[in-house]
Structure 1
Amino acid sequence: MRHFKKILFFLLFITAHIFGQSIKNDSLQQQKNPRFKYQSLIIPASLITYGVIGLESHQLKFLNSDIKNEINEHIDTRFTIDDISQYTPFLSVYGLNAFGIKGKHNFKDRTIILGTAYLIMGATVNTIKKTSNVERPDGSSKNSFPSGHTATAFMGAEFLYQEYKHISPWYGIMGYTMAAGTGFFRIYNDRHWLTDVAAGAGIGMLSAKIAYWIHPFIKNTLFKDKETMDGAIVPFYNGEQVGLGLSMSF
């Protein structure tokens, strides 16, 4: 299963490289304290570019098909753990705070950041899905590109890393490992192509980064007079899809 191993290597490489680059960028930030760092765009932009090129590249399309055929040839049982694991990274932030391990921001600020990131990610993914018209590997629909599950997972991984990088780098490693696992199972379960997963990872990361960059503006304009905030994460099921909804009151 040569391509099966390549997928694992590719996703683990992404995880290691993202984390290594994040540490490097944070070191630069401590020295110069810039609010926007163009270096932070390199990895998510590269992943998105890979996915976009895959829409037209015959070589990448062939690789996608080759991976699908190999998985279908050797795998009979599917595991839908990715329907849950996509939410695990960002839910971990609230879980850790609940157990007394305080992150970088209080409940109000981190919820604003998460909500902003989710809106950016969701709007981007759904808009591209409606216009790309890429058929899923299992043939169930034509909204395969990019992977929304993977985008959610990598958005949450970046959120978890940003909130807890001052305590330990292992929180970031844990988050990105879970996100990479989500991407892997989207391919494993015949729901997405490798190019879908790569683009989704890039979009998720970039959405979280943008949310942190613009948070001071969002907070000072939309939430300036809001001293308190209550919120809840509510699960939903519409007969076909399982997900989580974010509800906030001010």
Structure 2
Amino acid sequence: MKFLIFLLLPLTISAQNDSLNTSIKDSAVVTTNNMIVRDSVQAPFKLKGRQFIIPGALITYGVLATETKWFKKVNFDTRNEIMEDHPTFRTTIDNYTQFLPGAAVFALQAFGVKGESSVKKELIVYAMSIGISTAIVIPTKRLTKQERPDGSNNQSFPSGHTAIAFASAEFLRREYWNVSPWIGVAGYAVAAGTGILRMYNNKHWLGDVAAGAGVGILSTTLSYWLYDRVHIGGKNKKNQVFIFPGYSNNQFSIGLIKQF
């Protein structure tokens, strides 16, 4: 069970790719001198029910792991097995790997490997994704008050590191699936590794990591949708302001990004 995230990895990528293929088919194309050129204006991102299946399943598992006896036992059994095999394992690399897939998007752009979106759009979408993840994770931690495996505090559920890692991985996948599917696979592998490291650091239960993964994927999906629909300025693209939620220091906030 401690490899739940890895087992769900191929299913997650496959299901999420359905929505990406749909948006690609919706994009306009024109023919010039017998060559097909994709229109620079993409169709608006559409939310569909299947996009919520995988994140919903992960979040549901996480909730069950905090509320039901059998799933709680899986949490404890997984934690005990990890501690038995690696009792002194500690690392801080998971503080950095959570952002690695997102950073890869901008690194690839810098090296001339173009993604689905412009750098400006990518910056806005990624900022909104992190903002949505944070706005979901931190209040949920304070509401559920689940104790961490190491007993350090009662803000274990869900895993914030894992949420950001999977938000980053889904961001990378959406931008570069058409360049190479393996780029998305690599991003999800890093995200899954981040979640597993949180368990090996004795900071999170398996259910925390599963729920965090679901929140992260959902946050990026919503950020692409919000990019097209939640803005101020109408059809004037030079005067758009994108709005997204945030949470910091026990206070909710609204983030604004102005597109020039």
Query: Which category describes the TM-score, using the shorter chain as reference length?
Result: 0.7 to 0.9
How big is the shift at 1:172? 0.7
Query: Is 1:122 aligned to 2:117, yes or no?
Result: no
Aligned partner of 2:52 in structure 1 is 41
- The structure whose residues are more often helix, as a share, is 1
Question: Structure 1: how far apart are the matches of 2:97 and 2:218?
Answer: 19
Counterpart of 2:185 in 1: which secondary structure? Answer: helix
- The structure whose residues are more often strand, as a share, is 2
Amino acid at match of 1:114: Y
Amino acid at match of 1:53: L
Aligned partner of 1:12 in structure 2 is 6
Percent of paired sites with the same residue: 40
CA RMSD, Structure 1 to Structure 2 (Å): 2.3
Counterpart of 1:134 in 2: which secondary structure? Answer: coil
Aligned partner of 1:93 in structure 2 is 105
Amino acid at match of 1:105: S
Aligned partner of 1:70 in structure 2 is 81
Unaligned runs of 5+ in 1: 1-5, 228-245
Q: Please say if residues 170 and 188 of structure 2, whose CA atoms lie closer than 8 Å, have aligned partners that are also in contact.
A: yes
Query: Is 1:24 aligned to 2:37, yes or no?
Result: no
Aligned partner of 1:57 in structure 2 is 68
Distance 1:31 1:95, change over 3 A: closer
Query: Is 1:176 aligned to 2:188, yes or no?
Result: yes
Per mean C-alpha deviation after superposition, the further-off stretch among 23-32 and 164-173 is: 23-32
Q: Deviations over 1:21-74 (max 9, x none)?
A: 123343455557871211010000010111112221011111111111221122
Question: Structure 2: how far apart are the matches of 1:156 and 1:226?
Answer: 27
Question: Structure 1: how far apart are the matches of 2:193 and 2:67?
Answer: 26
How big is the shift at 1:207? 0.3
Counterpart of 1:127 in 2: which secondary structure? Answer: helix
Q: Deviations over 1:179-237 (max 9, x none)?
A: 0000111111100000000000000000000001121124554994359xxxxxxxxxx
> 1:191-206 alignment to 2 at 5 Å?
191-206=203-218
Query: Is 1:83 aligned to 2:116, yes or no?
Result: no
Question: Structure 2: how far apart are the matches of 1:17 and 1:197?
Answer: 17
**What TM-score does the superposition give when structure 1 sets the normalisation length?**
0.83
Distance 1:145 1:221, change over 3 A: farther
**What TM-score does the superposition give when structure 2 sets the normalisation length?**
0.80
Amino acid at match of 1:46: A
Larger radius of gyration: 2
Q: Deviations over 1:125-164 (max 9, x none)?
A: 0110111100000000100000000000000001001111
